[in-house]
Amino acid sequence: MAKHHIETTVNGDEIEFLCETEETLLDVLRDTLHLTGSKEGCASGDCGACSVMLDGRLVCSCLVLGCEVGGRRVETIEGMAKGEKLHPLQQRFLEHAALQCGICTPGFLVASKALLERTPDPTEHEIRYWLAGNLCRCTGYDKIVSAVMDAAVTMRKG
Amino acid sequence: MRYEAPESLEGAVALLAGATGEARVLAGGTDLLVQMRADIVDPELIVDIKKIAETRAVTEEQGGWRIGAAVTGAELKEHARLKQAWPGVVEAANLIGSTQVQGRATLGGNLCNGSPAADSVPALIAAGAVATLAGPQGKRDLPVEDVMLGPRKLALRKGEILVSFLLPPRPPRSSDAYLRFIPRTEMDIAVVGAGVSVTIDGAGTITAARVSLGAVAARVLLVPEAARAIVGSRLDAAAQQRLETAARAACQPIDDKRGTTEFRIDVAGVLTRRAALIALDRARAN
Ligand SMILES: Cc1cc2nc3c(=O)[nH]c(=O)nc-3n(C[C@H](O)[C@H](O)[C@H](O)COP(=O)(O)OP(=O)(O)OC[C@H]3O[C@@H](n4cnc5c(N)ncnc54)[C@H](O)[C@@H]3O)c2cc1C
Ligand code: FES
Ligand code: FES
């Protein structure tokens, strides 16, 4: 069977790629488009390391097929910093030492950004529930949650 | 493996009916892609139904609500009027997985995956929801409690798709609730799930009720005896006791490390009572 020819938008750029039916969006991002910021922690929807935005919704890219994204809008961690300028969330994660090995970090950042865009002033409780699908095995969640709370303050000040 | 994303129901039904090998509908993929990855299923054809308008809409119909089978949990959560009419259905759908899973998971997929622990199914059954199916012979309606026959076994025929659910019109002073027990606070599979829907009269007496239990039998159960135990009452202590007893009597659960048979039966009674109290409170406020 011939590969699927997909035209889509990734981080604002119109792009095209070829993929097999079984390839996930995560496979395509990492192996074909070489956007390796999204990580594969479990490939089963449990860890959130592969989090991306699809048409403005937070999803696990390991549970989306590459051929599903034709004509849609994909946003990944690679689109978060503007050139050299880090997003406030990225800045706060560094300052709060909210990462160690960093495997979970892109997923946490993408998921947190999605939260702050709809809930600019979240409670700690809201943050913890929103991020329940993002697992971290080394840093611990307290530093991550503080970084998100702090970034929210920065972002509210604009 | 072939992937198709038809824009019409007829197109999707024709693809599924004409498939020679194993064919699967794809909605949110949060069960299907996991099972494909684990080699539990290996379809020859995947039919993505998300481009079919009927599966993606939430609309008012005959005073009730029609919810497309491929509407996601995240979309249901944002639907203020649906939430007002059916808070139990929406809260059950919103218990499925994480924020990321909510962005994709659908009611149709939750039912058609055929798990007796599926969270939204007891809420839909308690609501009296009817599933609309489309197949090679046209459309037909089936009460949700008749769609799942057992674990992974559905009443859908070859070529049939679940298109949407119809939730009936809501009389005044009606509401519903869903509760589940899981060993964690998030991201786990129900050990017991209980959905209750009630209508009360002006004096606060229950005039109609439906009770459904998940994860305590091979399929999600409609429990008419539990409903009968509270109709005509104001859910006083005696009625609560009758409700718990009737709910427990319906259970035939498995026994595993996540919950022994005895535990599941006990919890089923407790959750049914608590869900009924929440539904009643909400009905009073309506
Ligand atoms: C991390 C994680 C956590 C989860 N947590 C929960 C939870 O807490 N509670 C819970 O109940 N579930 C949970 N699930 C399971 C899953 O998310 C739900 O069952 C979800 O509702 C499935 O919907 P979907 O649209 O993704 O289905 P899909 O994966 O697209 O489909 C599931 C099955 O149904 C069939 N199907 C789908 N739609 C139709 C249709 N319209 N007509 C005919 N057949 C159809 C498919 O062919 C497939 O066999 C979890 C899954 C993950 C990955
Ligand atoms: S890799 Fe997708 S959720 Fe873990
Ligand atoms: S920093 Fe290593 S998993 Fe989170």
Domain A88-157: CATH superfamily, name plus number: [2Fe-2S]-binding domain (1.10.150.120)
Together in a domain, B93 and B126: yes
**Domain limits at B181?**
174-285
pLDDT of the residue at A1: 61
In angstroms, the CA B50 to CA A7 distance is: 18
**Smallest Cα–Cα separation from A74: which of B24, B216, B103?**
B103
Q: Are residues B152 and B56 in the same domain?
A: yes
The 10s digit of each residue's pLDDT in B200-227 is 999 999 999 999 999 999 999 999 999 9
Q: Which CATH topology does A4-79 take? A: Ubiquitin-like (UB roll) (3.10.20)
Burial of A8 (0-12, 13-18, 19+ CB in 10 A): buried
> Given a cut of 70, is residue B49 above it in pLDDT?
yes
Is residue B225 one of the residues assigned to a domain? yes
Residue type for position B146: D
CATH 3.10.20.30 region(s) of chain A? 4-79
| CA pair distance A58, A40, nearest whole angstrom | 16
Q: Are residues B218 and B275 in the same domain?
A: yes
Of B115, B138, B167, which closes a domain?
A: B167
Q: Which residues of chain A have pLDDT under 50?
A: none
With respect to residue B43, please indicate whether it lies within any of the assigned structural domains: no
Does B163 share its domain with B182? no
Confidence grade of residue B113 (pLDDT, cut at 50, 70, 90) = very high
CATH code where residue B101 lies: 3.30.465.10
Assign residue B253 the CATH number of its domain.
3.30.390.50
* B21 occurs within a structural domain: no
Are residues B141 and B207 located together in one domain of the fold? Answer: no
Residues B143 and B183 in one domain: no
Number of domains chain B is built from:
2
Residues in chain B with CB shorter than 8 Å from the CB of A54 are 103
Q: Choose among B36, B50, B103: nearest Cβ to A59.
A: B103
pLDDT for res A141: 96
Greatest pairwise CA separation for chain A in angstroms: 53
Q: Which atom of ligand 3 is nearest to the CA of A99?
A: 1
Q: Is A56 in the pocket of ligand 3 (CB under 6 A)?
A: no
Final residue belonging to a domain, choices B167, B190, B205? B167
In a domain? residue B144: yes
What was the pLDDT predicted at B184?
A: 80
pLDDT of residue A106: 98
Q: Do A48 and B98 lie within an 8 Å CB cutoff?
A: yes
Beta A73-75 vs A4-10: how paired, if at all?
parallel
**Which of B146, B167, B188 is the last residue in one of the domains?**
B167
Q: Are residues B112 and B180 in the same domain?
A: no
Q: Are B37 and B65 in contact (CB under 8 A)?
A: no
Hey, which residues 229-258 in chain B have their CB within 8 Å of chain A?
none
> pLDDT of B248-282, one tens digit each?
999 999 998 889 999 999 999 999 999 999 999 99
The interface pTM score, or ipTM, of the predicted complex is: 0.97
Cβ atoms A99, A146 nearer than 8 A: no
B151 vs B122: CA distance, rounded Å = 15
Identify residue B147 by its one-letter amino acid code. Answer: V
Q: Which atom of ligand 1 is nearest to the CA of B118?
A: 11
Q: Which of B100, B182, B186 to mutate to test the interface with A (most CBs of A within 10 A)?
A: B100
What span, in angstroms and rounded, lies between the C-alpha atoms of A62 and A57?
14
Residue B29: inside a domain? no
Strand partners, B161: B134
Q: Is residue B92 part of a domain?
A: yes
The answer to whether residues B57 and B154 belong to one domain is: yes
